[in-house]
Amino acid sequence: MQIEVTSEPVRAPWTTDEFWAGTRADLFSSTGMHPDAYTSPAFFDDEQTSVFERAWVCVGLAADAAPGRVLVRNVGSRSVLISQDGDGELRAFYNSCRHRGTELYECDADVGTTLRCPYHRWGYNLDGSLKSTPRFEEVPRESFDKADYGLVPVRVEAWGVLLFVCLSDETMPLLDWLGDLPERMASHGLENWTPRHSQTVDIKANWKLISENFQEYYHLGWVHPELAKVSRVEDHYRFQGPGMYCGQTTTPVSGDERDDWLTLPPADGLDESDAVSSRFAAIFPNVLLSVLPNHVFVLHLEPVEAGLTRETCSWVLPPSGIDAPDEAFEPTRTFWLDVNDEDIDIVERGQRGLTRGAVPPGPLAPRFEEPLHRFQRMLADFMTAASPADVPVPGGDDGSVESRLGAGENPSPALLDR
Ligand code: FES
Ligand SMILES: [Fe+2]
């Protein structure tokens, strides 16, 4: 008897339409994603390649980059160096020597004017060009031109307080990615704000659970009873224009019961609405911005494994607040740490349930979870697109004062596409 052996390659479930059916459905019949999206190591690996190696990925704060300094950042499965050349221009390169490929730097370092390989000491200028190759030409090669062996560049840009890298040349420019967010936050002048403090925590949850938790205020009253006093459920609005982000706003940020948010001086030049609001934006894929009148709280997410994320929390202050004494800054820092600890507890619990529960995806709440639907569609688009050039920028509300300033109907399903 002859046994027929078939060698059909096994397709991962997330390459099929069925996997994304609940995500592609309209909001009112949508579901969340399959638990594999949060728990499967194979999904994680594909996501690193399809999303993180093709998106504009946040790699930290714009202020991290400085002349004479090199930053080392993971982007998907790659390692990238970021420097500022003599003219102050940002540069980024793969962290790999052009001689025999050795990793150039293990961690951030002061480098002066030369990036140096530890192996045979090839040296590169901060613009990536090769400048020295010790003893290499003691016996000359037939043709060797240093100009052919500069570090391999990748795209790097700063916006506001953030630093971004993109490994694909086919992905849209950063400003198209951000959509109308720069315009919505123009009155803050974020490019002039300065980091006051950063700290890092490892969270036993998938990076998407942390972002999704940030995007919805459905959990506010139960998970954050303290926060709900200053950021009341009924004061939350949609804050969503076109762009690769999910936005909401709290207007007004009340100081009635706790004044932790008001101990630092507000930024100068805020418009009437910005002066009394907090703007929240989850910029796809991995950075969460809370922009208040007197500080920005940044959560930068670095996926480590399917169930593990390194989160860097940073507090960035406007010029008016940067010299504020520690007594004025401390309430703001501890307030966010208290809120964040509550979020960490619940997302770790979410991860455990998804890992061990084996339940199918559940329905999303249209009033509260429309941003998750938007976010999960962006993820689906990246996971399934042949090229990042095929990924569309999701649309948003019009530029009317009501929709831009969060003064419109609340909740705003009228603005949603039914
Ligand atoms: S591998 Fe870098 S100098 Fe040889
Ligand atoms: Fe929360």
Q: What pLDDT, on a 0 to 100 scale, did the predictor assign at position 225?
A: 83
Report how far ligand 1's centroid is from the alpha carbon of 104 (Å).
8
The least confident of 19-28, 110-119, 249-258, 362-371 is: 249-258
3-state secondary structure the chain: CCCCCCCCCCCCHHHCCHHHHHHHCCHHHCECCCCHHHHCHHHHHHHHHHHHCCCCEEEEEHHHCCCCEEEEEEECCEEEEEEECCCCCEEEEECCCCCCCCCCCCCCEECCCEEECCCCCCEEECCCCEEECCCCCCCCCCCCCHHHCCCCEEEEEEECCEEEEECCCCCCCHHHHHCCHHHHCHHHCHHHCEEEEEEEEEECCCHHHHHHHHHCCCCHHHHCCCHHHHCCHHHEEECCCCCCEEEEEECCCCCCCCCHHHCCCCCCCCCCCHHHCEEEEEECCCEEEEECCCCEEEEEEEEEECCEEEEEEEEEECCCCCCCCHHHHHHHHHHHHHHHHHHHHHHHHHHHHHHHHCCCCCECCHHHHHHHHHHHHHHHHHHHCCCHHHCCCCCCCCCCHHHHHCCCCCCCHHHCCC
Q: How confident is the model at residue 409 (pLDDT cuts 50, 70, 90)?
A: low
Tell me the pLDDT tens digit for each residue of 176-192: 999 999 999 999 999 99
pLDDT of residue 414 exceeding 50, the answer is no
pLDDT of the residue at 418: 39
Span 408-418, average pLDDT: 47
Q: Which domains does the chain have, with CATH numbers?
A: 57-157 (2.102.10.10), 180-415 (3.90.380.10)
Summarize pLDDT for 308-322 with one digit per residue, the tens.
Answer: 999 999 999 999 998
Cβ–ligand 1 distance for 118 under 6 Å, the answer no
21-25, 163-167, 262-266, 371-375: least confidently modelled range: 262-266
pLDDT over 90 for what percent of the chain? 78
Q: Taking the CB of residue 362, how many other CB atoms lie within 10 A of it?
A: 9
Q: Give the angle 310-384-356 at the CA atoms, nearest 5°.
A: 50
**What value does the mean pLDDT take over residues 31-35?**
97
Give the closest residue (by CA) to ligand 1 atom 3: 120
Are 58 and 311 in contact by the 8 Å Cβ rule? The answer is: no
Nearest to 55 by CA among 150, 160, 173, 207: 173
Instruction: Give the predicted TM-score (pTM) of the model.
Output: 0.94
Least confident of 7-11, 24-28, 59-63: 7-11
Q: What is the pLDDT of residues 196-206, one digit of tens each?
A: 999 999 999 99
Split at pLDDT 50, 70, 90, the class of 416 is very low
Q: Cα(4) to centroid of ligand 2, in Å?
A: 55
**From ligand 2's centre to the CA of 369, what distance in Å?**
13
* Residue 43 and residue 382 in contact, taking contact as beta carbons nearer than 8 Å: no
Whether residue 97 has pLDDT greater than 80: yes
The reply to whether ligand 1 has any atom less than 6 angstroms from the CB of 155 is: no
CA distance 352 to 81: 35
* Residue 97 in contact with ligand 1 by CB distance below 6 A: yes
Report which ligand 1 atom has the smallest distance to the Cα of 120: 3
Please tell me if the CB atom of residue 99 comes closer than 6 angstroms to any atom of ligand 1: yes
Q: Which ligand is nearest to the CA of 219?
A: 2
Check pocket membership of 117 for ligand 1, CB cut-off 6 A.
yes
Ligand nearest to the CA of 134: 1
pLDDT at 15 over 90: no
Instruction: Answer whether 120 contacts ligand 1 (Cβ < 6 A).
Output: yes
Indicate the pLDDT class of residue 413, thresholds 50, 70 and 90: very low
| CB under 5 Å of ion ligand 2: residues | 343
Cβ of 102 less than 6 Å from ligand 1:
yes
Select from 95, 116, 117, 124 the residue to mutate for testing ligand 1; criterion: most ligand atoms less than 8 Å from CB. 117
100 lines ligand 1 (CB under 6 A): yes
| 370: pLDDT strictly greater than 60 | yes
